[in-house]
Amino acid sequence: MNVCTIDLQFLIPVGVGLVLVMVVYLGYRESHKSEGRTTRHFRSDGDVWGILELWAGMKNYQLADQGENSRSYLKQGSWFHFLDPRVSISRTTTEYQLDASLFTRRDPFTSFVMMIAPREIALDKAHGWRWKHDQQFIASKDVNVLIEMLNAGIDRIPYLPME
């Protein structure tokens, strides 16, 4: 047998398989881009930015982005956790808006594993089992502490851990 023929017989099915995997991946990715953010609106006369900085220091969140009327904080998990909680507060002319969600980490190590996960997950929507070590549960608890510190009458984020 010719060596070139053996290589072509092997490469054609592999190439067709890779094309099929990419088509399925791209279709699934388009349908699972984002599942939203948890949003709360509130009014406050207090030092919201100071409370936010104090909370971030207590809960180990790092400043990810800062604008004139907004701040965004990120808490990166260990290499094992693929979901990173993000919290941002922005100010409009009349009120503040708090947004919280989990973002799937996209790095070379996790990109293939997490390709089927949505890009962003709201904290107040159930996703599978909830237990006390779940990233969504932990982030909900963190944001509820911030809500209590702001003392602005905002609804807490519900969470139901499985013990």
Segment 134-163 mean pLDDT: 81
Cα distance between residue 63 and residue 157, in whole Å: 22
Alpha-carbon torsion (35, 37, 38, 42), positive or negative: negative
Q: Which of 83-87, 98-102, 125-129 has the lowest mean pLDDT?
A: 125-129
Q: What is the pLDDT of residue 65?
A: 92
Q: Place 148 in a pLDDT band, splitting at 50, 70 and 90.
A: very high
Give me the pLDDT at residue 93, please.
Answer: 85
pLDDT tens digits for range 11-64: 777 777 777 666 666 655 554 445 578 899 999 888 999 999 999 999 999 999
More confidently predicted of 159 and 71: 71
SS3 91: strand
Q: What mean pLDDT comes out for the span 68-86? A: 81
pLDDT of amino acid 163 = 43
Taking only the tens place, the pLDDT of each residue in 90-118 is 998 889 999 998 877 666 555 555 566 66
Considering only CA atoms, which of 138, 142, 136 is closest in space to residue 123?
A: 136
Burial class (CB within 10 angstroms; exposed 0-12, middle 13-18, buried 19+) of 128 = exposed
How far apart CA 72 and CA 122 sit, in angstroms, is: 16
DSSP per-residue letters across 34-62: -B--EEEEE--SS-HHHHHHHHHHHHT-E
CA dist., res. 71 & res. 65, Å (int)? 6
